[in-house]
Amino acid sequence: MKISLPRVGTASGLLLLALFLAAALLGPSLAPVDPLATDVANRLQPPGAAHWFGTDALGRDLFSRVLVATRLDLGMAAGAVVLSLLAGSAVGAWCGFVGGGLDRWVGRLVDVLMAFPLFVVAMALVAAWGNSVSSIVYATALINLPFYIRLVRTEVSVRRNAGYVVAARLGGTAAPRLLFGVLLPHVLPVLAVQGSINLGWALLNGAGLSFIGLGVRPPTAEWGVLVSEGAPYIITGQWWLAFFPGLALFAAVGCFTLLGDALRDLLDPRGAAEAAHA
């Protein structure tokens, strides 16, 4: 029996998503040891039966810290993506529907924002707003806005003169209802794909900010913080300190990338037809 690679990727993505959601919801109650509890006598212990991922420089159980960090990392990424998706969709939809000078000015502003290295912009914003979870969420949401504005603006511009839109307009449908009740639902599949892929990027952005010291502060368990704390010990042989948090981050980003690809294939009629032929 032949199994297509897209189906394997979709199943893998769904399995990883289920595991990460379970870890995010139940992580603190499933952690075998308090993630903040220190045990200097057992510092830098390699992975074993007592400590599955080993211990860090203060003797803290690394498995518990990686597990508990799942809720914080996924929460920051999800919060940033939801904020940018809602705000960007509203702005982009209105610009694409109205057109004219507003559309041109917003388009130019989006082009200017996308010309800057977005991670550098996020660094500047978090440095200005302070090291906190909320700063990471708002900064990540802000630098994601141009993607959603441009995407929705383009989709709405293409559809605003479609037959069903003209019929609704002739039927007396008000502009806000026409936009958000008739046009925008047709853009939701594209937004779902973009949002899923952006979740992985938002995870990397939050972890990257924490890694360079501009995000979550120790001793809070967060994947970027854990990789940053473990990186100096790689050259002395304590590879597990950075490996397991990095592996968790890699798996989470891969999970959302696989899900984004699966959604794109599912919602793209041409892709679905090709998959049916394969």
* pLDDT tens digits for range 101-153: 777 888 888 888 888 888 898 999 999 998 889 999 999 999 999 889 988 88
Residue 122 token pair: 């996020």
Question: Using CB atoms within 10 A of its CB, is residue 196 exposed (0-12), middle (13-18) or buried (19+)?
Answer: buried
Categorize the per-residue pLDDT at 164 as very low, low, confident or very high, splitting at 50, 70 and 90: confident
Each residue of 36-86: pLDDT tens digit? 889 898 899 999 988 899 999 999 999 999 999 999 999 999 999 999 999
In the chain, the percentage of residues whose pLDDT exceeds 70 is 92
Say what the alpha-carbon torsion angle 113, 118, 123, 127 is, to the nearest 10 degrees. Answer: 20
Q: Say if residue 177's pLDDT is above 80.
A: no
Average pLDDT over residues 205-221: 88
Q: Say if residue 278's pLDDT is above 80.
A: no
- Mean pLDDT of the chain, nearest integer: 85
Does 35 or 173 have the greater pLDDT score?
Answer: 35
Contact yes or no for 215/224 (Cβ under 8 A): yes
Q: Say if residue 8's pLDDT is above 60.
A: yes
Q: Say if residue 277's pLDDT is above 60.
A: no
Predicted pLDDT of residue 6: 56
126: closest CA among 200, 70, 225, 205?
A: 205
Measured in residues, the chain has a length of 278
Q: Does domain 49-277 have CATH number 1.10.3720.10?
A: yes
Predicted pLDDT of residue 142: 92
Does 87 or 27 have the greater pLDDT score?
Answer: 87
Predicted pLDDT of residue 273: 44
Query: Which helix (H) or strand (E) is 211 found in, with range?
Result: helix 188-211
Q: How far apart are CA 118 and CA 77, in angstroms?
A: 16
Domain residue extents for the chain: 49-277
pTM: 0.85
